[in-house]
Each structure stands twice: as C-alpha cells, then as structure tokens.
Amino acid sequence: MSEMPAVRVDHVGIAVESIEEAEGLLFALGCEKIHEERSEYGSFTWATYVLGGASRLELIAPEPGSDSFLTEFLERNGPGLHHVTLEVGDLDRAVTALGERDVAVVDRAEFDHWTEAFLPPSNPTGALFQLMEYHDGYAETRAAGETLFVDGKPL
C-alpha cells in the first residue's frame, strides 16, 4: 500500500451567517485576524484567524442574497463546524493512499494556486475533510502572505 505524504491540520472552517458578527468570539479567545477575501470561485467570503503559533480558524459566510452550498448548509444545520482542512504535501499521493484503504475522495479541483479534494461527511467521523495542496504563488497573491501557512511555509 502507498504511504500518506506529509499531512497536517491547516485550519478548521466554521460556517456563519456573518463574519463580522461571529469574529468577536474568536477575538475574545485570543485570535488574530490575518486575512479576509471574497471567493472568486463561489458566493462566499472567508476570513482566517491565527491562534498561537500553529492554530488556524476560518470563518466562512455566504454573500448576502446568494444561493450556494453554504446557504444550504446554514439552512440545514445552522452555524457551526463546516470542514477540517488538512494540508498535504502531495495530493496525488494522498488520494492514491486513501483509495487503497477504501476511503472515498470526491470533488477534486485544481485552482490557480492550490489543488483540493474532499472526504465526504459520510465517513465514520461525520466530518467533511478538505485535503489541500498549496502551489507556488498562493501566499504571493494574498495580503497576509506566508502567515496563511502553518509555521509560515507550506509542506
């Protein structure tokens, strides 16, 4: 069987109705906001918060008036845990290793500066896992730069 490449928790994504209304709790916990941007690939905004040296939280909120995966999620579940993102050093190797262990991987997509795939919440944990491999240029295209990476650099 293939071995998993390097993997680490990148961030936990939390679905909210409003980033502005929800982030006060993260500030009270000691988080520092390092980034916020509207997704160019969907109808939502995401913001990244750092807690300590290596912990990342992400708030994701639908754009007002939008109808997307996120509005459906919030209607069905209300605010709360949406996904856990695992950074992988090599997404192809990770998908192969998981497939050999009969773990379903779905919705693989390649973007300008990252590639992602998902383990659906039908897995035994009930959690949606996003597998993400960063590519060159990811940090350079965002104001927060390398602070978006755990420990300041990708795997």
Neighbouring-strand partners of residue 45? 38, 61
Residue 2 lies in a domain: no
User: Structure tokens of 77?
Assistant: 């579940």
Residue 1 lies in a domain: no
Contact 26, 108 (CB under 8 A): no
CATH number at residue 97: 3.10.180.10
Sign of the alpha-carbon dihedral angle for 17, 23, 35, 79? negative
pTM over 0.85: yes
Residue 72 lies in a domain: yes
Task: Say how many domains are in the chain.
Answer: 1
The boundaries of the domain holding residue 144 are: 7-152
Query: Rounded CA gap, 48 and 43, in Å?
Result: 17
Residue 139 lies in a domain: yes
pLDDT tens by residue, 81-126: 999 999 999 999 999 999 999 999 999 999 989 999 999 999 999 9
Mean pLDDT of the chain: 93
Contact 118, 131 (CB under 8 A): yes
Residue 134 lies in a domain: yes
**pLDDT confidence of residue 114:** 94
